[in-house]
Amino acid sequence: MAVATLTFADRLAAEVERKRSQLVVGLDPRVDLLPVELRGDISRFCCGIVDAVAPHVVAVKPQLAFFEALGARGIAAFEQVCQYAKRAGLLVIADGKRGDIGSTARAYSEAYIEGEPPLADALTVNPWLGRDAIEPFLGAVRRGGVGIFVLVRTSNSGGDLQDAVLKDGRPMWHHVAELVDEWGADTAGEVGLSSVCAVVGATHPRAVAEARRLMPRTILLLPGVGAQGGSISDLTRAFQSGPASAIVPVSRSLIYAFRDAGSDYREAAGAEAARLKREIWTASGW
């Protein structure tokens, strides 16, 4: 089978098996936290992190907000970092939480997960505008090779909307979980996982277990471990649909590990990635 016809889920699953890792490094370049000598160059910082963690992680998740905060120069750095990570053999999940009406969603899809080759392998998307706003992204997913991560239950307290109780007694996010399961039904790859994935905060372990039940074929991205207080040992059930059925992004506590370790930023990030990779693999039970 040609590489281009593999689904995003299959590509991710192959990397998870090969590296025995479900770890994703979140790239949140906050200028004031960078090593002093790199404060003018977030691209170089992020590429240094990529070099250091590449053996231990399956994907990078650059957070667009921190690149956008630097304007056009920041977006140029974002593009460089995406290309560098791909050349290092990592999948790229652009964390932009985009969402808009159909014709505009198509422009976002073109910006991040379409093109030859697309800038990223997947994009985080916001479901608030409903199915017709997600459809352009689903089109890109169906054409193959890329994925989306729909915000189902985010890692913040944020329950004003997501936990609102529906007429049938369920929280709103359960309804969204069922929509995600439905949207992804026709995208399942060879390993049986869908490329329409979901974000569920590791800070809500009960929600993670419920999400697994509501979305059996869905890859769960579980943010909130580390700086936000989520615990890896609480996540075991997320992996019940296979070793690649959940992935764990860690950002600040990994990329800024040098600030506590007192060592070179790459060395500290590499060591922390190796440690987290083992801890997550053990917790996954695979």
Residue 97 known to be catalytic: yes
Round to whole Å and give the CA distance between 18 and 246.
15
Amino acid at 1: M
254, 272 Cβ separation under 8 angstroms: yes
3-class secondary structure, 26 = strand
Residue closer to a second copy by CB (options 173, 281) is: 173
Q: Which is nearer to a second copy, 102 or 117 (CB)?
A: 102
Contact 137, 81 (CB under 8 A): no
Contact footprint for a second copy (CB under 8 A):
28, 30, 63, 65-66, 68-69, 71-73, 75-76, 78-79, 97-102, 104-105, 107-108, 110-111, 119, 126-133, 151, 154-162, 164-167, 169, 172, 175-176, 179
Gyration radius of the chain over CA positions:
18
- Closer residue to a second copy in complex, CB, 79/186: 79
> Quick one: 55 or 159, whose CB is closer to a second copy?
159
Q: How far is the CB of 256 from a second copy (least distance, A)?
A: 13
Structure tokens at 151: 């915000």
Catalytic: which of 86, 97, 167, 277?
97
Min separation Cβ 192 and a second copy, Å: 25
- Whole-number minimum distance, CB 100 to a second copy, in Å? 5
- Rounded CA separation 95/68 (Å): 12
Shortest separation between residue 191's beta carbon and a second copy, angstroms = 28
Nearest CA-CA partner of 187 in 17, 1, 5: 5
Residue 191: both structure tokens together: 């390993």
Residues annotated as catalytic are: 97
